[in-house]
Amino acid sequence: GQQLNQSPQSMFIQEGEDVSMNCTSSSIFNTWLWYKQDPGEGPVLLIALYKAGELTSNGRLTAQFGITRKDSFLNISASIPSDVGIYFCAGSNAGGTSYGKLTFGQGTILTVHP
Amino acid sequence: EAGVAQSPRYKIIEKRQSVAFWCNPISGHATLYWYQQILGQGPKLLIQFQNNGVVDDSQLPKDRFSAERLKGVDSTLKIQPAKLEDSAVYLCASSSSLRRPQETQYFGPGTRLLVL
């Protein structure tokens, strides 16, 4: 089946630093999404991308849909302590009975030191 | 607007026992999903319902897992009998948009299952 590889697996940064993480796939997706999961909670959608090459921002977060459709990137600028959590990428393909089915990466654990 | 509700939040059982999880989606959401999240991994879709019909259950271990969504609202996920490798967080999600369900997919807090 489809697999997503996220890197890095974990990051330890100082408050105020910028963060970059990426996700690669062995196959093509037509939608890429980025989620954040806090301890004891379910994932929360941060950004959704629908077109190859698309660059989308949500506050201090910016994500890009790779041209090859096999990768995506998430950047967080000027990190703050509440950015701590696990960030997941997810891919989806439309059509048939798979509409809405998400394939998740293994996550990037972000720790921000004040 | 109330979020996705799940119960129980935690469950500890012994292997070979049975367990059931309950999910109440956001009011009016037609699509409901059950995911399994093993520690250190991303969620994996187990089953997807559209109203009370199954859309995708290709990754559901049907020899021990079952799920139903009677009346197209609440849903239950059952494991019988449980194995050690079933220890995980079971997440329920719901969405309202058939056109772009992934954009409007809201997750509940999950049920943490430990099988001893």
B51-72 confidence digits (pLDDT tens): 889 988 999 999 999 999 988 8
pLDDT surpasses 70 at B100: no
For chain B, the average pLDDT equals 92
pLDDT at A101: 79
* Binary contact (B102, A33; C-beta < 8 A): yes
Q: Bigger pLDDT: B101 or A107? A: A107
Q: Are strands B31-37 and A31-37 parallel, antiparallel or unpaired?
A: unpaired
- Residues of A in CB contact (< 8 Å) with B are 4, 31, 33, 40-45, 48, 88, 90, 92, 97-107
Other beta carbons less than 10 A from residue B7's beta carbon: 13
Tell me which residue has tokens 């119960």: B7
Give the C-alpha separation, B35 to A58, whole Å.
26
Give the C-alpha separation, A24 to B116, whole Å.
35
What are the phi and psi torsion angles at A36 (to 5°)?
A: -125, 135
End-to-end CA distance of chain B: 37
pLDDT at B96: 81
Per-residue pLDDT of chain A (114 residues; tens, 9 = 90+): 567 999 999 999 999 999 999 999 998 998 999 999 999 999 999 999 989 999 999 999 999 999 999 999 999 999 999 999 999 999 988 655 556 678 999 999 999 998
Of A45, A101, A104, which is closest to B42 when you measure between CB atoms? A104
Selected residues 1-60 of chain B with any CB under 8 Å from a CB in chain A: 4, 31, 33, 40-45, 48, 55-56
